Amino acid sequence: MALKKILTEPDPILRQISKPVEIVDDTIRKLMDDMLETMYAAPGIGLAAIQIGVPKRIIVLDISKDPEKKEPMYFINPEKIYASKDQATYEEGCLSVPGQFAEIDRPDKCHIKYLDYNGNPKELKAEGLLATCIQHEMDHLEGILFIDYLSKLKKSMITKKLSKQKKELERIVV
Ligand code: ZN
């Protein structure tokens, strides 16, 4: 397994629409292993492949709070087949929008179909935190970030702040 660099806003790659995975083979499984390791190291509870620069429709998640008991979840080509009218609000952050948080409303429940780690078709009924995480990660596959749901003013403040941080990071004095 290998740690990958997580891309951050405003990197244009994050705005790409990811492509479906055609065959779930060892290359895809290796990618998912790397994604999971990168997510745990960050640390985060969800990661989409595009966040490490790979435009494939793959998500990994682990919302278990206990670091001793890891419960990784893998979703390949996830599709939403139901979303509740009821909304839930969580304060969301994102590994690609470091240090920024905002309250976001999303459907409280969603059902998805997807392929698992071995390429088998599965369905999942999610609610609460899991539903929010899945929907946040599925947005990444469409090139959408949680800050896109904020007002233009708030979003541009965040984007400017992150651009400035990036410049400072790249600046070296020797
Ligand atoms: Zn995210």
pLDDT at position 90, please? Answer: 95
For residue 34, give the nearest of 15, 53, 18, 16 by alpha carbon. Answer: 53
- Report pTM: 0.94
Phi, psi values for residue 18, rounded to 5° = -75, 150
Going by pLDDT thresholds of 50, 70 and 90, the confidence category of residue 172 is: confident
Report DSSP state, residue 158. Answer: H
More confident residue, 174 or 45: 45
Going by pLDDT thresholds of 50, 70 and 90, the confidence category of residue 61 is: very high
Choice among 13-17, 69-73, 137-141, 166-170 with the minimum mean pLDDT: 166-170
pLDDT at position 55, please? Answer: 98
Distance from residue 48's CA to the centre of ligand 1 (Å):
7
pLDDT at position 37, please? Answer: 96
Q: Which of 68, 137, 168, 170 is catalytic?
A: 137
Task: Please tell me the distance from the alpha carbon of residue 36 to that of residue 28, in angstroms, as a whole number.
Answer: 12
Burial code (b: 16+ CB inside 10 Å, e: under 16) for 50-83 equals: bbbebebbbbbbbeeeeeeeeeebbbbbbeeeeb
Distance from residue 99's CA to the centre of ligand 1 (Å):
12
Task: Please tell me the distance from the alpha carbon of residue 128 to that of residue 133, in angstroms, as a whole number.
Answer: 9
**What does the pLDDT look like over 101-134, one tens digit per residue?**
999 999 999 999 999 999 999 999 999 999 999 9
Structure tokens at 134: 């899945």
Which residue carries 């494939």 as its tokens?
56
Helix (H, G, I), strand (E, B) or coil at 123: strand
pLDDT at position 68, please? Answer: 82
Q: Is residue 74 over pLDDT 80?
A: yes
Task: Please tell me the distance from the alpha carbon of residue 64 to that of residue 70, in angstroms, as a whole number.
Answer: 7
Task: Please tell me the distance from the alpha carbon of residue 91 to that of residue 16, in angstroms, as a whole number.
Answer: 25
Distance from residue 115's CA to the centre of ligand 1 (Å):
21
